[in-house]
Structures are given as C-alpha cells and as structure tokens.
Amino acid sequence: MESLMGIEKVEMETSAEALLDCAVRTIRERGKQYGSVIPLFDQIAERWSLTLKVKVTTEQVALCMIDLKVARINNGSTNMDNAVDIAGYAALIAELRNNQQLTTGEI
C-alpha cells in the first residue's frame, strides 16, 4: 500500500476490516495534527452557522462531510480515501453524540 503522511492508502480490493483499520489510523493521525475533534467541529459548526445563517450542529458538520465524500464517489471518483473518510466521519458522529450527552444530558 502507498503511504500518504504516514497513513497507508487503502487499495481497491481491500476488505471492510482493512478499510476500518485505516479509518482508525486516520482519525488518530488527524487528532495528533489538529487536536480533539470536538472543539474543531464546534468551531466549524459556528462558522458554517454564520455563513449559512442557520444553526449548524457538530453532527451536521460530520454528516455534510460524509455527503461531500459521497458526492465525489457519485461523480466517478475511485479513490478509496473517500470511503475511508466516510467511515471515519461516521465514527466521529458517535463521539460527537457522546460528548453532547455528557455535556447537556440530551440524547
């Protein structure tokens, strides 16, 4: 597998488990580069809320990022990094929801 910034790129014939392992490594690497996802996604949600003039949640940020990756795939991209990123953003939704529950008591 080819390496990009210390993260192995997933090849087309990869297994689901290998793709998910790559997503975990990517999340860890991005965490080292950018810090915790929670304050980052809080900041993105605030910025998008100002830009769009509607309230955007951190979960919606992750969902929009997934949608971006789906659009790339639907546009013909065969880059498996899109699938890795989708898996990663989906996993981050669970983390964001857990944080929301811990901070507000909401489900």
Residue, of 42 and 101, whose pLDDT is higher:
42
- Residue 107 reports pLDDT greater than 90: no
Q: pLDDT-derived band of residue 4, with 50, 70 and 90 as boundaries?
A: very low
> Where do the domains of the chain lie?
14-104
Q: Are 19 and 87 in contact (CB under 8 A)?
A: yes
Conformational region of residue 19, where left means phi above 0, alpha means psi within -120 to 50, and beta covers everything else: alpha
Q: What are the helix and strand counts (H, E) for the chain?
A: 4, 2
State which H helix or E strand residue 4 sits in: strand 3-4
**Predicted structure pTM score:** 0.80
Residue partners of 47: CB distance under 8 A and separation at least 6: none
Q: Are 44 and 78 in contact (CB under 8 A)?
A: no
Q: pLDDT-derived band of residue 7, with 50, 70 and 90 as boundaries?
A: very low
